[in-house]
Structure 1
Amino acid sequence: MDTVTTRDGVNIFFKDWGPRDAQPIVFSHGWPLSSDDWDAQMVFFLNEGFRVVAHDRRGHGRSTQVADGHDMDHYADDLAAVTAALDLREAVHVGHSTGGGEVVRYIARHGAERVAKAAIIAAVPPLMVKTDANPGGLPKEVFDDFQTQVATNRAQFYHDVPAGPFYGFNRPDRPAMEGLILNWWRQGMMGSAKAHYDGIIAFSQTDFTEDLKKIDVPVLVMHGDDDQIVPYEDSAPLSAKLLRNGTLKTYKGFPHGMPTTEAATINADLLAFIRG
Protein backbone atom coordinates (compact mmCIF):
# COMPACT_ATOMS: atom_id res chain seq x y z
CA MET A 1 0.00 0.00 0.00
CA ASP A 2 1.03 3.61 -0.51
CA THR A 3 1.63 5.14 2.91
CA VAL A 4 3.33 8.10 4.53
CA THR A 5 4.81 7.66 8.00
CA THR A 6 4.22 10.56 10.38
CA ARG A 7 6.62 11.86 13.02
CA ASP A 8 4.89 9.77 15.67
CA GLY A 9 5.12 6.59 13.61
CA VAL A 10 1.61 6.39 12.13
CA ASN A 11 1.27 4.99 8.61
CA ILE A 12 -1.22 7.11 6.67
CA PHE A 13 -2.67 5.38 3.62
CA PHE A 14 -3.22 7.52 0.54
CA LYS A 15 -4.36 7.34 -3.08
CA ASP A 16 -2.52 9.43 -5.67
CA TRP A 17 -3.96 9.29 -9.18
CA GLY A 18 -3.27 11.31 -12.30
CA PRO A 19 -0.43 13.24 -13.94
CA ARG A 20 2.24 14.34 -11.49
CA ASP A 21 2.52 17.74 -13.19
CA ALA A 22 -1.23 18.44 -13.02
CA GLN A 23 -2.79 20.64 -10.36
CA PRO A 24 -3.55 18.49 -7.31
CA ILE A 25 -6.91 18.28 -5.57
CA VAL A 26 -6.60 16.83 -2.07
CA PHE A 27 -9.67 15.32 -0.40
CA SER A 28 -10.22 14.95 3.35
CA HIS A 29 -13.05 12.60 4.32
CA GLY A 30 -15.69 12.69 7.04
CA TRP A 31 -16.16 10.66 10.21
CA PRO A 32 -15.97 7.61 10.45
CA LEU A 33 -15.26 6.92 6.79
CA SER A 34 -12.20 6.69 4.54
CA SER A 35 -10.81 8.03 1.28
CA ASP A 36 -13.23 5.66 -0.49
CA ASP A 37 -16.01 8.11 0.30
CA TRP A 38 -14.56 10.39 -2.40
CA ASP A 39 -14.96 7.90 -5.28
CA ALA A 40 -17.43 10.09 -7.15
CA GLN A 41 -15.09 13.07 -6.94
CA MET A 42 -11.79 11.26 -7.50
CA VAL A 43 -12.89 9.71 -10.79
CA PHE A 44 -14.62 12.87 -12.00
CA PHE A 45 -11.66 15.19 -11.41
CA LEU A 46 -9.16 12.63 -12.67
CA ASN A 47 -11.08 12.61 -15.95
CA GLU A 48 -10.93 16.42 -15.96
CA GLY A 49 -7.12 16.25 -16.01
CA PHE A 50 -6.33 16.88 -12.34
CA ARG A 51 -4.07 14.96 -10.01
CA VAL A 52 -6.31 13.64 -7.23
CA VAL A 53 -5.09 12.66 -3.78
CA ALA A 54 -7.03 11.31 -0.79
CA HIS A 55 -5.87 9.75 2.45
CA ASP A 56 -7.39 7.69 5.24
CA ARG A 57 -7.30 9.63 8.50
CA ARG A 58 -5.31 7.99 11.30
CA GLY A 59 -7.35 5.17 12.81
CA HIS A 60 -9.67 5.14 9.80
CA GLY A 61 -9.70 2.91 6.73
CA ARG A 62 -6.29 1.44 5.98
CA SER A 63 -4.21 3.78 8.14
CA THR A 64 -2.64 2.61 11.42
CA GLN A 65 -5.13 2.01 14.24
CA VAL A 66 -3.20 3.85 16.92
CA ALA A 67 -4.68 4.54 20.35
CA ASP A 68 -3.95 8.25 20.47
CA GLY A 69 -3.63 11.40 18.39
CA HIS A 70 -7.28 11.52 17.40
CA ASP A 71 -7.61 15.30 17.51
CA MET A 72 -7.61 18.09 14.95
CA ASP A 73 -3.98 19.07 15.45
CA HIS A 74 -2.82 15.55 14.66
CA TYR A 75 -5.26 15.30 11.75
CA ALA A 76 -3.85 18.52 10.32
CA ASP A 77 -0.27 17.41 10.87
CA ASP A 78 -0.97 14.07 9.17
CA LEU A 79 -2.41 15.91 6.17
CA ALA A 80 0.68 18.11 6.11
CA ALA A 81 2.86 14.99 6.13
CA VAL A 82 1.04 13.66 3.06
CA THR A 83 1.28 16.94 1.14
CA ALA A 84 4.97 17.28 1.97
CA ALA A 85 5.84 13.69 1.08
CA LEU A 86 4.12 14.05 -2.29
CA ASP A 87 5.44 17.61 -2.70
CA LEU A 88 1.99 18.92 -3.59
CA ARG A 89 1.91 22.60 -4.59
CA GLU A 90 -0.89 24.95 -5.68
CA ALA A 91 -3.23 22.33 -4.28
CA VAL A 92 -6.96 22.67 -3.89
CA HIS A 93 -8.05 21.16 -0.58
CA VAL A 94 -11.58 19.79 -0.31
CA GLY A 95 -12.97 18.58 3.01
CA HIS A 96 -16.32 17.04 3.87
CA SER A 97 -17.78 17.21 7.40
CA THR A 98 -14.93 16.40 9.82
CA GLY A 99 -12.62 16.67 6.82
CA GLY A 100 -13.70 20.28 6.43
CA GLY A 101 -12.43 20.93 9.93
CA GLU A 102 -9.22 19.10 9.08
CA VAL A 103 -8.67 21.33 6.04
CA VAL A 104 -9.34 24.50 8.02
CA ARG A 105 -6.97 23.49 10.83
CA TYR A 106 -4.32 22.37 8.30
CA ILE A 107 -4.25 25.72 6.47
CA ALA A 108 -4.36 27.75 9.69
CA ARG A 109 -1.68 25.63 11.38
CA HIS A 110 0.69 25.00 8.46
CA GLY A 111 0.09 28.02 6.26
CA ALA A 112 -1.04 28.36 2.66
CA GLU A 113 2.34 28.07 0.93
CA ARG A 114 1.21 24.86 -0.79
CA VAL A 115 -2.48 25.83 -1.08
CA ALA A 116 -4.25 27.61 -3.94
CA LYS A 117 -7.88 27.28 -2.84
CA ALA A 118 -10.08 25.25 -0.53
CA ALA A 119 -13.66 24.02 -0.34
CA ILE A 120 -15.43 22.81 2.78
CA ILE A 121 -18.59 20.77 2.25
CA ALA A 122 -21.21 20.21 4.98
CA ALA A 123 -18.32 20.97 7.31
CA VAL A 124 -18.20 21.09 11.11
CA PRO A 125 -16.64 24.57 11.60
CA PRO A 126 -16.90 26.90 13.34
CA LEU A 127 -18.09 24.80 16.33
CA MET A 128 -20.73 22.07 16.60
CA VAL A 129 -21.37 21.75 20.33
CA LYS A 130 -23.62 24.17 22.18
CA THR A 131 -21.81 26.59 24.51
CA ASP A 132 -22.54 29.99 26.00
CA ALA A 133 -20.66 31.52 23.08
CA ASN A 134 -22.33 29.16 20.57
CA PRO A 135 -25.98 28.97 21.65
CA GLY A 136 -27.10 27.56 18.30
CA GLY A 137 -24.96 24.44 18.63
CA LEU A 138 -26.12 20.92 19.43
CA PRO A 139 -26.26 19.85 23.09
CA LYS A 140 -23.24 17.89 24.30
CA GLU A 141 -25.61 15.03 25.16
CA VAL A 142 -26.09 14.39 21.43
CA PHE A 143 -22.41 13.61 21.03
CA ASP A 144 -22.25 11.70 24.30
CA ASP A 145 -24.92 9.42 22.85
CA PHE A 146 -22.84 8.99 19.68
CA GLN A 147 -19.92 7.84 21.82
CA THR A 148 -22.12 5.42 23.76
CA GLN A 149 -23.35 3.84 20.55
CA VAL A 150 -19.84 3.55 19.10
CA ALA A 151 -18.62 1.94 22.31
CA THR A 152 -21.50 -0.53 22.63
CA ASN A 153 -22.81 -1.45 19.17
CA ARG A 154 -21.21 0.54 16.42
CA ALA A 155 -22.10 -2.09 13.79
CA GLN A 156 -25.78 -1.25 14.18
CA PHE A 157 -25.11 2.47 14.62
CA TYR A 158 -23.11 2.48 11.39
CA HIS A 159 -26.12 1.11 9.58
CA ASP A 160 -28.67 3.41 11.18
CA VAL A 161 -26.78 6.65 10.42
CA PRO A 162 -26.54 6.23 6.62
CA ALA A 163 -29.96 4.57 6.43
CA GLY A 164 -31.45 7.64 8.07
CA PRO A 165 -30.13 11.19 8.50
CA PHE A 166 -26.73 11.10 6.75
CA TYR A 167 -28.13 10.82 3.23
CA GLY A 168 -31.61 12.02 4.14
CA PHE A 169 -33.11 8.59 3.50
CA ASN A 170 -35.48 9.26 6.41
CA ARG A 171 -37.22 11.89 4.24
CA PRO A 172 -40.34 10.66 2.41
CA ASP A 173 -39.17 12.08 -0.94
CA ARG A 174 -35.71 10.45 -0.82
CA PRO A 175 -35.78 6.69 -1.40
CA ALA A 176 -33.02 4.72 0.29
CA MET A 177 -30.12 3.37 -1.76
CA GLU A 178 -28.99 0.17 -0.09
CA GLY A 179 -25.61 0.14 -1.81
CA LEU A 180 -24.70 3.53 -0.32
CA ILE A 181 -25.80 2.40 3.12
CA LEU A 182 -23.71 -0.76 2.94
CA ASN A 183 -20.68 1.11 1.56
CA TRP A 184 -20.89 3.60 4.45
CA TRP A 185 -21.10 0.67 6.88
CA ARG A 186 -18.12 -1.03 5.21
CA GLN A 187 -15.95 2.05 5.49
CA GLY A 188 -16.90 2.68 9.08
CA MET A 189 -16.24 -0.87 10.21
CA MET A 190 -12.79 -0.83 8.58
CA GLY A 191 -11.67 1.77 11.10
CA SER A 192 -10.86 1.66 14.80
CA ALA A 193 -13.58 2.03 17.41
CA LYS A 194 -11.09 3.98 19.57
CA ALA A 195 -10.32 6.43 16.78
CA HIS A 196 -14.01 6.90 16.07
CA TYR A 197 -14.86 7.30 19.76
CA ASP A 198 -12.23 10.00 20.23
CA GLY A 199 -13.02 11.54 16.86
CA ILE A 200 -16.49 12.48 18.07
CA ILE A 201 -14.89 14.85 20.56
CA ALA A 202 -12.57 16.18 17.87
CA PHE A 203 -15.32 17.05 15.39
CA SER A 204 -17.86 18.30 17.94
CA GLN A 205 -15.79 20.24 20.47
CA THR A 206 -13.03 21.82 18.37
CA ASP A 207 -13.55 25.56 17.95
CA PHE A 208 -12.31 26.66 14.51
CA THR A 209 -13.20 30.34 14.90
CA GLU A 210 -9.62 31.61 15.04
CA ASP A 211 -8.49 29.16 12.34
CA LEU A 212 -11.08 30.50 9.92
CA LYS A 213 -9.97 34.07 10.56
CA LYS A 214 -6.36 33.22 9.61
CA ILE A 215 -7.16 31.82 6.16
CA ASP A 216 -6.85 34.20 3.22
CA VAL A 217 -6.98 31.85 0.21
CA PRO A 218 -10.37 31.59 -1.57
CA VAL A 219 -12.65 29.14 0.22
CA LEU A 220 -15.97 27.83 -1.11
CA VAL A 221 -18.36 26.94 1.72
CA MET A 222 -20.93 24.41 0.44
CA HIS A 223 -23.81 23.21 2.61
CA GLY A 224 -27.28 21.75 2.21
CA ASP A 225 -30.09 23.36 4.18
CA ASP A 226 -31.54 19.93 5.03
CA ASP A 227 -28.34 18.72 6.68
CA GLN A 228 -29.43 16.64 9.70
CA ILE A 229 -25.89 15.90 10.89
CA VAL A 230 -24.24 19.35 10.81
CA PRO A 231 -27.16 21.80 10.96
CA TYR A 232 -26.85 24.54 8.37
CA GLU A 233 -27.60 27.68 10.39
CA ASP A 234 -24.86 27.11 12.96
CA SER A 235 -22.15 26.15 10.49
CA ALA A 236 -21.80 27.31 6.89
CA PRO A 237 -23.07 30.92 7.15
CA LEU A 238 -20.95 31.51 10.24
CA SER A 239 -17.82 30.03 8.62
CA ALA A 240 -18.29 32.10 5.48
CA LYS A 241 -18.46 35.29 7.56
CA LEU A 242 -15.30 34.45 9.48
CA LEU A 243 -13.24 33.68 6.37
CA ARG A 244 -11.38 36.57 4.72
CA ASN A 245 -12.18 35.28 1.24
CA GLY A 246 -15.11 32.94 1.71
CA THR A 247 -18.06 32.28 -0.59
CA LEU A 248 -21.20 30.60 0.70
CA LYS A 249 -23.20 28.31 -1.57
CA THR A 250 -26.39 26.89 -0.12
CA TYR A 251 -28.21 23.88 -1.58
CA LYS A 252 -31.92 23.66 -0.97
CA GLY A 253 -32.99 20.26 0.34
CA PHE A 254 -29.54 18.65 0.08
CA PRO A 255 -28.49 16.23 2.87
CA HIS A 256 -25.23 15.92 4.76
CA GLY A 257 -23.92 13.26 2.38
CA MET A 258 -24.49 15.42 -0.68
CA PRO A 259 -21.06 14.79 -2.27
CA THR A 260 -22.35 11.27 -2.92
CA THR A 261 -26.10 11.63 -3.44
CA GLU A 262 -25.78 14.92 -5.36
CA ALA A 263 -22.38 14.31 -6.93
CA ALA A 264 -23.23 15.76 -10.34
CA THR A 265 -24.16 19.13 -8.84
CA ILE A 266 -21.34 19.23 -6.30
CA ASN A 267 -18.70 18.20 -8.84
CA ALA A 268 -19.82 20.80 -11.37
CA ASP A 269 -19.76 23.58 -8.78
CA LEU A 270 -16.36 22.50 -7.46
CA LEU A 271 -14.97 22.45 -11.00
CA ALA A 272 -16.28 25.94 -11.70
CA PHE A 273 -14.77 27.20 -8.45
CA ILE A 274 -11.38 25.58 -9.10
CA ARG A 275 -11.16 26.89 -12.66
CA GLY A 276 -12.70 30.25 -11.87
Structure 2
Amino acid sequence: MTETSVGSVSSVLRFPVKSMLGENVAAATVSQRGVDGDRAYALIDEETNKVISVKRPRRWGRIFELSAATKSDGPVEVTFPGGEAMAIDDPALPDRLSAFFGRRVSVAATPPPDATFDEAWERDLKDGADPYFGLPSRDEEGDELIDAGAFMSGQGNFFNFGAVHLVTTATTKRLSEAAPDSRFDARRFRPNIVIDTDEVGFVETGWQGHTLAIGDVRLLVTFTVPRCVMTTLAQGDLPADRDVLRTITAENSVDVFSTGTAYPCVGVYGEVVTGGDVRVGDAVTLIS
Protein backbone atom coordinates (compact mmCIF):
# COMPACT_ATOMS: atom_id res chain seq x y z
CA MET A 1 0.00 0.00 0.00
CA THR A 2 1.32 3.41 -1.01
CA GLU A 3 0.22 6.74 0.47
CA THR A 4 0.81 9.85 -1.62
CA SER A 5 0.00 13.42 -0.63
CA VAL A 6 -2.02 14.99 -3.44
CA GLY A 7 -3.11 18.31 -1.95
CA SER A 8 -5.48 19.84 0.55
CA VAL A 9 -9.13 20.81 0.83
CA SER A 10 -9.69 24.37 -0.37
CA SER A 11 -13.51 24.39 -0.24
CA VAL A 12 -16.33 22.35 1.27
CA LEU A 13 -19.71 22.93 -0.35
CA ARG A 14 -23.23 21.84 0.45
CA PHE A 15 -26.38 22.17 -1.66
CA PRO A 16 -29.37 21.66 0.65
CA VAL A 17 -31.91 21.83 -2.20
CA LYS A 18 -31.20 20.07 -5.47
CA SER A 19 -30.34 22.46 -8.33
CA MET A 20 -30.40 25.59 -6.15
CA LEU A 21 -27.22 27.47 -5.34
CA GLY A 22 -25.68 26.25 -2.11
CA GLU A 23 -23.26 27.27 0.60
CA ASN A 24 -19.56 27.20 1.40
CA VAL A 25 -18.89 25.80 4.85
CA ALA A 26 -15.72 25.53 6.91
CA ALA A 27 -16.42 21.91 7.80
CA ALA A 28 -19.00 19.21 7.22
CA THR A 29 -19.81 15.76 8.51
CA VAL A 30 -19.72 12.95 5.96
CA SER A 31 -21.74 9.76 6.43
CA GLN A 32 -22.64 6.86 4.16
CA ARG A 33 -25.28 9.14 2.68
CA GLY A 34 -22.69 11.77 1.74
CA VAL A 35 -22.21 15.27 3.14
CA ASP A 36 -24.83 15.75 5.84
CA GLY A 37 -27.52 18.11 4.62
CA ASP A 38 -26.46 17.92 0.97
CA ARG A 39 -29.28 17.54 -1.58
CA ALA A 40 -31.59 16.91 1.36
CA TYR A 41 -34.56 18.40 -0.49
CA ALA A 42 -35.79 18.86 -4.03
CA LEU A 43 -38.67 20.57 -5.76
CA ILE A 44 -41.28 18.47 -7.55
CA ASP A 45 -43.21 19.49 -10.67
CA GLU A 46 -46.79 18.78 -9.64
CA GLU A 47 -47.93 18.30 -13.24
CA THR A 48 -45.39 15.58 -14.13
CA ASN A 49 -44.30 14.37 -10.66
CA LYS A 50 -40.71 14.76 -11.83
CA VAL A 51 -37.88 16.16 -9.76
CA ILE A 52 -37.09 19.71 -10.86
CA SER A 53 -33.59 20.07 -12.25
CA VAL A 54 -31.70 22.94 -13.83
CA LYS A 55 -30.58 20.38 -16.40
CA ARG A 56 -33.74 21.43 -18.26
CA PRO A 57 -32.88 25.13 -18.28
CA ARG A 58 -35.52 26.30 -20.74
CA ARG A 59 -38.17 25.37 -18.16
CA TRP A 60 -36.30 25.39 -14.85
CA GLY A 61 -33.26 27.63 -15.39
CA ARG A 62 -34.55 30.18 -12.87
CA ILE A 63 -33.83 27.73 -10.05
CA PHE A 64 -30.23 29.01 -10.24
CA GLU A 65 -31.61 32.36 -9.04
CA LEU A 66 -32.51 30.68 -5.74
CA SER A 67 -30.11 29.68 -3.00
CA ALA A 68 -30.45 27.38 -0.01
CA ALA A 69 -28.52 27.37 3.25
CA THR A 70 -28.69 25.37 6.46
CA LYS A 71 -29.19 27.62 9.47
CA SER A 72 -27.52 26.59 12.72
CA ASP A 73 -30.59 27.51 14.74
CA GLY A 74 -33.29 26.23 12.41
CA PRO A 75 -34.24 24.54 9.15
CA VAL A 76 -32.91 25.10 5.66
CA GLU A 77 -33.80 28.52 4.26
CA VAL A 78 -34.52 29.30 0.62
CA THR A 79 -33.56 32.80 -0.51
CA PHE A 80 -35.20 34.49 -3.51
CA PRO A 81 -33.49 37.01 -5.83
CA GLY A 82 -34.78 40.03 -3.92
CA GLY A 83 -33.40 38.71 -0.63
CA GLU A 84 -36.65 37.27 0.74
CA ALA A 85 -35.89 34.13 2.78
CA MET A 86 -38.35 31.39 3.70
CA ALA A 87 -37.89 28.25 5.78
CA ILE A 88 -38.08 25.00 3.84
CA ASP A 89 -40.94 23.84 6.09
CA ASP A 90 -42.93 27.08 5.75
CA PRO A 91 -46.42 26.04 4.51
CA ALA A 92 -46.42 29.12 2.26
CA LEU A 93 -43.21 28.16 0.45
CA PRO A 94 -44.78 25.93 -2.26
CA ASP A 95 -47.15 28.72 -3.29
CA ARG A 96 -44.30 31.23 -3.36
CA LEU A 97 -42.19 28.88 -5.48
CA SER A 98 -45.12 28.15 -7.79
CA ALA A 99 -45.58 31.86 -8.40
CA PHE A 100 -41.85 32.22 -9.04
CA PHE A 101 -41.76 29.46 -11.67
CA GLY A 102 -45.24 29.88 -13.10
CA ARG A 103 -45.96 26.18 -12.51
CA ARG A 104 -47.23 24.27 -9.50
CA VAL A 105 -44.35 22.88 -7.48
CA SER A 106 -43.96 21.21 -4.10
CA VAL A 107 -41.07 20.48 -1.75
CA ALA A 108 -39.93 16.91 -1.05
CA ALA A 109 -37.43 15.34 1.35
CA THR A 110 -37.48 11.94 -0.39
CA PRO A 111 -37.77 11.13 -4.10
CA PRO A 112 -41.14 10.02 -5.45
CA PRO A 113 -41.31 6.36 -6.54
CA ASP A 114 -39.47 5.84 -9.83
CA ALA A 115 -38.32 9.45 -9.69
CA THR A 116 -36.61 10.99 -12.71
CA PHE A 117 -35.79 14.46 -13.95
CA ASP A 118 -35.63 15.94 -17.43
CA GLU A 119 -32.19 16.62 -18.90
CA ALA A 120 -31.66 18.61 -22.07
CA TRP A 121 -29.25 16.54 -24.15
CA GLU A 122 -26.87 19.05 -25.74
CA ARG A 123 -25.67 16.80 -28.54
CA ASP A 124 -23.91 19.63 -30.37
CA LEU A 125 -21.76 20.36 -27.30
CA LYS A 126 -20.88 16.68 -26.78
CA ASP A 127 -19.41 15.94 -30.20
CA GLY A 128 -22.63 14.25 -31.29
CA ALA A 129 -22.61 11.63 -28.52
CA ASP A 130 -25.83 9.68 -27.98
CA PRO A 131 -27.50 9.64 -24.52
CA TYR A 132 -26.15 7.42 -21.75
CA PHE A 133 -26.88 3.68 -21.95
CA GLY A 134 -28.88 4.19 -25.13
CA LEU A 135 -31.60 6.09 -23.29
CA PRO A 136 -34.38 7.24 -25.61
CA SER A 137 -34.79 10.94 -26.17
CA ARG A 138 -37.76 13.06 -27.15
CA ASP A 139 -38.26 16.51 -28.62
CA GLU A 140 -40.26 18.85 -26.42
CA GLU A 141 -40.49 22.65 -26.34
CA GLY A 142 -37.43 23.00 -28.55
CA ASP A 143 -35.22 20.63 -26.54
CA GLU A 144 -33.98 17.09 -26.99
CA LEU A 145 -34.78 15.61 -23.56
CA ILE A 146 -33.92 12.40 -21.73
CA ASP A 147 -35.37 11.02 -18.51
CA ALA A 148 -32.38 11.03 -16.16
CA GLY A 149 -31.83 10.44 -12.46
CA ALA A 150 -33.09 6.85 -12.36
CA PHE A 151 -30.74 6.10 -9.44
CA MET A 152 -32.40 8.60 -7.10
CA SER A 153 -35.35 6.59 -5.78
CA GLY A 154 -33.25 3.45 -5.34
CA GLN A 155 -30.78 5.37 -3.18
CA GLY A 156 -33.55 7.21 -1.36
CA ASN A 157 -31.88 10.57 -1.95
CA PHE A 158 -31.55 13.23 -4.62
CA PHE A 159 -28.01 12.46 -5.79
CA ASN A 160 -27.59 11.75 -9.49
CA PHE A 161 -25.02 9.00 -8.94
CA GLY A 162 -22.39 9.18 -6.20
CA ALA A 163 -22.56 10.31 -2.59
CA VAL A 164 -19.60 12.72 -2.60
CA HIS A 165 -18.40 14.76 -5.58
CA LEU A 166 -14.81 16.04 -5.81
CA VAL A 167 -13.02 18.38 -8.23
CA THR A 168 -9.35 19.41 -8.24
CA THR A 169 -7.77 22.73 -9.09
CA ALA A 170 -5.56 20.83 -11.55
CA THR A 171 -8.62 20.15 -13.68
CA THR A 172 -9.95 23.71 -13.59
CA LYS A 173 -6.47 25.04 -14.37
CA ARG A 174 -6.09 22.69 -17.34
CA LEU A 175 -9.46 23.76 -18.76
CA SER A 176 -8.61 27.43 -18.22
CA GLU A 177 -5.40 26.95 -20.20
CA ALA A 178 -7.38 25.40 -23.04
CA ALA A 179 -10.00 28.18 -23.12
CA PRO A 180 -8.67 31.28 -21.35
CA ASP A 181 -11.73 33.37 -22.23
CA SER A 182 -13.99 31.06 -20.19
CA ARG A 183 -14.23 30.93 -16.39
CA PHE A 184 -13.64 27.41 -15.14
CA ASP A 185 -14.44 28.07 -11.51
CA ALA A 186 -15.02 24.85 -9.55
CA ARG A 187 -18.45 26.19 -8.54
CA ARG A 188 -19.69 25.51 -12.08
CA PHE A 189 -19.47 21.80 -11.31
CA ARG A 190 -21.21 21.88 -7.91
CA PRO A 191 -18.78 19.59 -6.06
CA ASN A 192 -18.81 18.90 -2.34
CA ILE A 193 -15.04 19.07 -1.99
CA VAL A 194 -12.53 21.12 -3.98
CA ILE A 195 -8.95 19.86 -3.71
CA ASP A 196 -6.09 22.30 -4.19
CA THR A 197 -3.22 20.40 -5.77
CA ASP A 198 0.09 20.96 -7.53
CA GLU A 199 -0.63 18.02 -9.81
CA VAL A 200 -1.12 18.69 -13.52
CA GLY A 201 -4.02 17.85 -15.83
CA PHE A 202 -7.15 15.84 -15.15
CA VAL A 203 -5.49 14.15 -12.21
CA GLU A 204 -8.60 12.91 -10.39
CA THR A 205 -9.63 10.79 -13.37
CA GLY A 206 -6.60 8.63 -12.56
CA TRP A 207 -7.76 8.12 -8.98
CA GLN A 208 -10.61 5.81 -9.96
CA GLY A 209 -10.47 2.58 -7.98
CA HIS A 210 -8.26 4.10 -5.28
CA THR A 211 -9.01 5.48 -1.82
CA LEU A 212 -8.69 9.08 -0.67
CA ALA A 213 -8.03 9.95 2.97
CA ILE A 214 -9.39 13.39 3.89
CA GLY A 215 -9.42 14.17 7.58
CA ASP A 216 -11.30 11.32 9.25
CA VAL A 217 -12.98 10.33 6.01
CA ARG A 218 -12.07 7.57 3.57
CA LEU A 219 -13.58 7.70 0.08
CA LEU A 220 -13.35 5.05 -2.62
CA VAL A 221 -13.15 6.92 -5.92
CA THR A 222 -15.68 5.20 -8.17
CA PHE A 223 -15.86 6.99 -11.52
CA THR A 224 -15.40 10.30 -13.26
CA VAL A 225 -18.40 12.58 -13.63
CA PRO A 226 -20.10 13.14 -17.01
CA ARG A 227 -21.02 16.79 -17.49
CA CYS A 228 -24.14 18.40 -18.90
CA VAL A 229 -25.71 21.69 -19.93
CA MET A 230 -25.75 22.82 -16.29
CA THR A 231 -22.06 23.71 -16.52
CA THR A 232 -22.81 26.31 -19.21
CA LEU A 233 -25.44 28.26 -17.27
CA ALA A 234 -25.04 31.52 -15.39
CA GLN A 235 -24.87 30.97 -11.64
CA GLY A 236 -23.98 33.59 -9.10
CA ASP A 237 -21.27 35.76 -10.64
CA LEU A 238 -20.37 33.15 -13.27
CA PRO A 239 -21.67 34.03 -16.74
CA ALA A 240 -23.47 31.76 -19.16
CA ASP A 241 -20.91 30.19 -21.50
CA ARG A 242 -21.61 27.31 -23.86
CA ASP A 243 -17.90 27.03 -24.58
CA VAL A 244 -17.47 25.55 -21.10
CA LEU A 245 -19.02 22.22 -22.08
CA ARG A 246 -17.57 22.39 -25.58
CA THR A 247 -14.07 22.73 -24.09
CA ILE A 248 -14.58 19.85 -21.67
CA THR A 249 -15.68 17.68 -24.59
CA ALA A 250 -12.54 18.56 -26.54
CA GLU A 251 -10.13 18.16 -23.63
CA ASN A 252 -11.46 15.36 -21.42
CA SER A 253 -14.00 13.03 -22.99
CA VAL A 254 -13.97 9.64 -21.26
CA ASP A 255 -15.73 6.33 -21.95
CA VAL A 256 -16.88 6.47 -18.36
CA PHE A 257 -19.53 3.74 -18.64
CA SER A 258 -17.45 1.41 -20.87
CA THR A 259 -20.11 1.54 -23.57
CA GLY A 260 -17.85 2.67 -26.41
CA THR A 261 -19.10 6.27 -26.18
CA ALA A 262 -17.01 9.03 -24.60
CA TYR A 263 -18.62 11.84 -22.62
CA PRO A 264 -17.19 15.15 -21.37
CA CYS A 265 -16.07 14.61 -17.76
CA VAL A 266 -14.89 16.74 -14.85
CA GLY A 267 -14.28 15.53 -11.29
CA VAL A 268 -15.00 12.19 -9.64
CA TYR A 269 -17.52 10.57 -7.35
CA GLY A 270 -16.52 9.00 -4.06
CA GLU A 271 -18.22 6.19 -2.16
CA VAL A 272 -17.96 6.69 1.60
CA VAL A 273 -15.92 3.90 3.19
CA THR A 274 -15.39 5.64 6.54
CA GLY A 275 -17.39 8.65 7.67
CA GLY A 276 -16.25 11.59 9.75
CA ASP A 277 -15.55 15.29 9.43
CA VAL A 278 -13.97 17.12 6.50
CA ARG A 279 -12.54 20.61 7.01
CA VAL A 280 -11.05 23.29 4.81
CA GLY A 281 -7.28 22.82 5.03
CA ASP A 282 -7.38 19.05 5.57
CA ALA A 283 -4.61 17.15 3.83
CA VAL A 284 -5.69 14.81 1.03
CA THR A 285 -3.83 11.52 0.65
CA LEU A 286 -4.17 8.99 -2.17
CA ILE A 287 -3.95 5.38 -0.99
CA SER A 288 -3.10 2.91 -3.73
Q: For the superposition of Structure 1 and Structure 2, which TM-score range results when normalised by the shorter chain?
A: under 0.3
With structure 1 as the length reference, what TM-score do the two structures score? 0.26
Larger relative strand fraction: 2
With structure 2 as the length reference, what TM-score do the two structures score? 0.26
Larger relative helix fraction: 1
